[in-house]
């Protein structure tokens, strides 16, 4: 069973904000001669890296709810030349919307066990193609 990670999408007010940010990242990386892909930068490298790379995803919390996940392709630790390190979590291009799930605020990132992760939205009967506002409203009404 894969081990996932969860992180707050700080500054994002909706799913489109996160997608726009990742598009900007991909463009910036391409201009620098790097692979154009979404990346999550963080200070700490996961100690359970191998478990996360065995099919794990990065689940994003937007305004107190998990709304989307990105499958993780790799986790790379980089050094800046002064001995300080940082971590890049390399993500697949296409995010997968999830059933909204409430989540309290926290700092940094956390591990997320597969049993605690929300199911993918596309796995819900009749849920394909719903707009984010409609999904939010259905969640508030208790439909999910």
Cα 41 to the chain's mean position, in Å? Answer: 12
Is residue 79 over pLDDT 70? yes
* Mean of pLDDT values over 110-115: 95
Q: Domain span at residue 117?
A: 3-140
Q: Tell me how many domains the chain contains.
A: 1
Is residue 140 over pLDDT 80? no
The candidate with the shortest Cα–Cα distance to 127, out of 96, 102, 87, 104, is 96
Q: Model confidence over 9-62: pLDDT tens digits? A: 988 988 889 999 988 988 898 999 888 888 988 988 999 999 999 999 999 999
Residue 102 burial (C-beta neighbours within 10 Å; 0-12, 13-18, 19+) = exposed
* Mean of pLDDT values over 108-113: 93
């Amino acid at each position: 069973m894969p081990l996932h990670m969860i992180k707050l999408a700080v500054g994002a007010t909706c799913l489109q904000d996160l997608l726009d940010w990742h598009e900007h990242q991909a463009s910036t990386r391409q201009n620098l001669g790097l692979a154009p892909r979404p990346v999550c930068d963080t200070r700490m490298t996961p100690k359970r890296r191998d478990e996360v790379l065995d099919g794990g995803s990065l689940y994003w919390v937007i305004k107190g709810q998990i709304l989307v996940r990105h499958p993780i392709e790799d986790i790379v630790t980089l050094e800046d030349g002064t001995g300080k390190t940082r971590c890049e979590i390399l993500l697949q291009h296409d995010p997968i919307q999830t059933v909204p799930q409430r989540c309290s605020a926290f700092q940094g990132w956390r591990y997320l066990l597969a049993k605690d992760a929300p199911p993918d939205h596309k796995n819900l009967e009749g849920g394909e193609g719903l707009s984010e506002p409609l999904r939010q409203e259905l969640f508030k009404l208790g439909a999910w």
